[in-house]
Amino acid sequence: MANRKADDICPRPGRVDLGSTTPHAPPIVPTSVWECHDTEQSEALLNGAAAGYVYQRDGHPNADTLAAKCCELHRAERTVITSSGMAALAAAVLSLVKSGETIVASRRLYGRSLLLLGTETERLGIETRLVDSNDVAEVRGAAEQARMIVVETISNPTLRVAPLVELAEIAKETGALLLVDNTFATPALCRPLEWGAHLVMESISKSMNGHSDVMLGSLSGSEDLWGRVPQVVAAWGLASGPFDCWLAERGLATLAVRVERASANAQQVAELLTHHPAVERVDYPGLADHPDRAATEQLLSAGGSMVTFHLAGGLQAANRFIAAVREQIPFCPSLGETGTTISHPESTSHRGLTGEERAALGIDGGTLRLSVGIEQAATICELLQTALDARP
Ligand SMILES: *Cc1c(COP(=O)(O)O)cnc(C)c1O
């Protein structure tokens, strides 16, 4: 042993001795594989008879710690953590919908979700009918014999709030599963399962993690829907990575305070924008004239961190505004981080639509979407006020 050479010493991983005390910060466990004691144990682990880990794609400790937090946040029985928000949607559809079945989806869903529920699932023989998810009668008509209804709690970018109680009622009547994408709200503002949804998903990449440095998703629901979920995540390769899970758990530590502060800031921003002559319209669930005021008051504990506003003067005005603020409020087509960011839906999230389709959704060249952060409200308001006042 004393004379072992470097090529005998280095290739094998060393044993980590954690000492006799417990590390207070959670460890990251990046191993892709676990050592089994014998064939009896490997057999029991792989066929699910024993709890434990064998291969990271099928499950790992950092994902399980994060999933347990998501379960608690949503009062859910089961959560699977996936490699992205899109992977969470894929996991739901591939586990619970099959060829020949129909999905009813909101026309206002996130662009990539519409792609998944459009050409991607069409290739698998699954048909999607798009509806206005705020038109309860239209959803009821389309949901006859549907397998799944997919809506977002708060939609992008016009921040419509889905009538979850009525939609859950329709799901119950028709036997469809209601899947709610709760990315904009997070469980800090809304817990859709408590309003009758069967499944809730989040892009953890956004407000849940809150620092724009992670790609992850979550899907939560009840035990009775979970039969195929682990197998689908393993077979289609939708699993998460340990470091991302570790970062997201750290991000979640401040979820409640971040969302509370950002929502209070967003309320002030929305009110400032409403009163400025350069602004044609403001979409914010916390405003008294929001079209879904009743659903907002019923479902959300605050208005959320997103504020959308429409400048008179179209694309030119939007470009001037972005140029005026971008040093302090960067133009980033994502959302939910600690700092305030701005996005332009026409040229980013909704660029794939025709002008007519965008108009139907209430988006034009002058539409801007703020993801309000946790800075001092006065600082954000001052920046916006200066940029608006500087109009030619
Ligand atoms: C970003 C987003 C997704 C997709 O999540 P990723 O983590 O980017 O894959 C889904 N739904 C909504 C509402 C989103 O904003």
- In degrees, rounded to 5, the angle at the alpha carbon of residue 312 between the alpha carbons of residues 308 and 314 is 85
Mean pLDDT of 60-69: 98
Cα R_g (the chain), whole angstroms:
23
The pLDDT assigned to 322 comes to: 97
**Residue 225, burial from CB neighbour count under 10 angstroms (0-12, 13-18, 19+):** middle
Instruction: State yes or no: cis peptide before 157, omega within 30 of 0.
Output: yes
Cα 324 to Cα 315: distance, rounded to the nearest angstrom: 14
Atom 11 (ligand 1) nearest CA: 110
Say if residue 352's pLDDT is above 80.
yes
Q: Are 217 and 93 in contact (CB under 8 A)?
A: no
Q: Residue 86: CB within 6 Å of ligand 1?
A: yes
Cα 176 to Cα 323: distance, rounded to the nearest angstrom: 47
Per-residue pLDDT band at 159 (split at 50, 70, 90)? very high
* Higher pLDDT pick, 13 / 250: 250
Q: Residue 209: CB within 6 Å of ligand 1?
A: no
The pLDDT assigned to 375 comes to: 98
Cα 139 to Cα 116: distance, rounded to the nearest angstrom: 20
Best residue among 81, 83, 86 to mutate for probing ligand 1's pocket (most ligand atoms within 8 Å of CB) is 86
Say if residue 391's pLDDT is above 80.
no
Q: Residue 152: CB within 6 Å of ligand 1?
A: yes
| pLDDT tens string 11-25 | 988 888 889 999 999
Helix or strand or coil: residue 152? strand
Per-residue pLDDT band at 140 (split at 50, 70, 90)? very high
Per-residue pLDDT band at 127 (split at 50, 70, 90)? very high
Cα 11 to Cα 303: distance, rounded to the nearest angstrom: 54
Helix or strand or coil: residue 45? helix
**Residue 26, burial from CB neighbour count under 10 angstroms (0-12, 13-18, 19+):** middle
Hey, what amino acid is at 196?
Answer: G
Q: How many residues does the chain have?
A: 392
Mean pLDDT of 69-79: 98
Cα 215 to Cα 201: distance, rounded to the nearest angstrom: 14
| pLDDT tens string 255-303 | 999 999 999 999 999 999 999 999 999 999 999 999 999 999 999 999 9
Q: Residue 113: CB within 6 Å of ligand 1?
A: yes
Helix or strand or coil: residue 359? helix
Mean pLDDT of 55-80: 97
Q: Residue 282: CB within 6 Å of ligand 1?
A: no
| pLDDT tens string 80-119 | 999 999 999 999 999 999 999 999 999 999 999 999 999 9
How does DSSP classify residue 205?
A: I
84: nearest Cα among 229, 188, 216, 262 = 216
Q: How many distinct helices (H) and strands (E) make up the chain?
A: 16, 11
Share of the chain above pLDDT 90, in %: 93
Atom 5 (ligand 1) nearest CA: 85
Best residue among 89, 107, 108, 112 to mutate for probing ligand 1's pocket (most ligand atoms within 8 Å of CB) is 112
For the whole model, what pTM was predicted? 0.97
The pLDDT assigned to 48 comes to: 85
- In degrees, rounded to 5, the angle at the alpha carbon of residue 113 between the alpha carbons of residues 182 and 357 is 105
State both tokens at 368.
């801007």
Per-residue pLDDT band at 1 (split at 50, 70, 90)? low
Say if residue 2's pLDDT is above 80.
no
Q: Which domains does the chain have, with CATH numbers?
A: 59-252 (3.40.640.10), 255-389 (3.90.1150.10)
Q: Residue 344: CB within 6 Å of ligand 1?
A: no
**What's phi and psi for 312, nearest 5 deg?**
-65, 140
Mean pLDDT of 1-9: 85
Average the pLDDT over each of 1-15, 32-46, 279-293 and give the range with the smallest value.
Answer: 1-15
Mean pLDDT of 196-209: 98
Averaged pLDDT score across all residues of the chain = 96
The pLDDT assigned to 392 comes to: 61
Mean pLDDT of 342-360: 92
